[in-house]
Amino acid sequence: MNAKRPLIRVALLDDHDVVLFGMQQLLASDPGITVAASFTRIQAFLDYLRSDPEVDVVIVDYNLVPGEDDGLNLIRRIDRYFPHINILVVSSLYIPATVSLALQNGARGYMGKADAISQLPSAVRMVHQGEQWLEPRMREKLTLAPVVCVPFEHDLPGEPVGVRSSRGADLTAREQEVIRRLLEGSSVTDIAQSCNRSIKTISAQKQSAFRKLGVRNNSELFKYRRHIFDDGGTPA
């Protein structure tokens, strides 16, 4: 007679109680998974992980309460201090730049909150087995290659060095300069005038850089600025 397989022990972190409740209910319906604990605050969550070495998988949001760690630093901390735990991110922040950074820094899977939530138990089982889980359409968008860090010709004072391409594609020197100027607050017209180039040329370089970085517009570029720059440092 085969011994009964142990349950997969899961801990949850999300700053919305209704999201936690929904995930708990869904996971409870799977006979192979048990929710060991759930939290809305990072510190309580990390304290629990230190006290319970039997947790197999954590499900965490990427965008949590303002003033706490961002999702990338949280993933790095879990991966560094709890290497036996597999990380699944479930978040409304669901663009290639964010997904790729999460995967490259320790996450085993990434699910958008708009995805079919019924896939959550399957995703938990896959990451528990050490496999990667991604929704097929997102997988198609990503080139899962090593991160490329290309230094600026002139780095901003006080800023980390380099632009990170989450899709593993080099930015050209011209594209680097356009992104740097945009992050300084310049418009496409400003950049064209100062560089003695046409607006059409600058716009094309901007769009090419956006595709490589996995962002869609200026708002996303500024929102993910701290993740586009690479400080080469260690997790907090």
Tokens 């356009």 — which residue? 178
Q: What percent of the chain has pLDDT over 70?
A: 78
CATH label of the domain that carries residue 34: 3.40.50.2300
For the cut 80, the answer to whether the pLDDT of residue 140 exceeds it is: yes
Residue 236 lies in a domain: no
Name which of 81-85, 182-186, 202-206 the model is least confident about.
182-186
| pLDDT at 145 (0 to 100) | 37
Residue 2 lies in a domain: no
Domain count, the chain: 2
CB atoms within 10 A of CB 33: 20
Residues 50, 127, single domain; the answer is: yes
Nearest to 20 by CA among 28, 31, 8, 30: 28
Residue 84 lies in a domain: yes
In whole angstroms, how far apart are CA 158 and each of 91, 154, 155, 231? 31, 12, 8, 11
Q: Would you give the distance in Å from CA 132 to the centre of its chain? A: 14
pLDDT tier at 178 (50, 70, 90 boundaries)? Answer: confident
- Report d(CA 13, CA 89) in Å as an integer: 10
Nearest to 34 by CA among 10, 16, 54: 10
Residue 186 lies in a domain: yes
Q: Stretch 181-208: mean pLDDT, rounded?
A: 86
Q: Strands of the chain (E only): list them.
A: 8-13, 33-39, 57-60, 86-91, 107-112, 133-134, 148-150, 163-165
Out of 80, 106, 141, a domain closes at: 141
Residues 170, 105, single domain; the answer is: no
Residues 46, 93, single domain; the answer is: yes
Domain range for 199 is 148-228
pLDDT tier at 227 (50, 70, 90 boundaries)? Answer: low
pLDDT tier at 1 (50, 70, 90 boundaries)? Answer: very low
Residues 126, 13, single domain; the answer is: yes
Residues 28, 131, single domain; the answer is: yes
Residues 159, 118, single domain; the answer is: no
Residues 56, 153, single domain; the answer is: no
Residues 23, 136, single domain; the answer is: yes
Residues 88, 175, single domain; the answer is: no
Tokens 């595709």 — which residue? 211
Residues 152, 130, single domain; the answer is: no
Greater confidence, 144 or 228? 228
- Report d(CA 13, CA 166) in Å as an integer: 25
At residue 229, the 3 state secondary structure works out as strand
Residues in the chain, overall count: 236
| pLDDT at 33 (0 to 100) | 96
Name which of 81-85, 138-142, 164-168, 195-199 the model is least confident about.
164-168
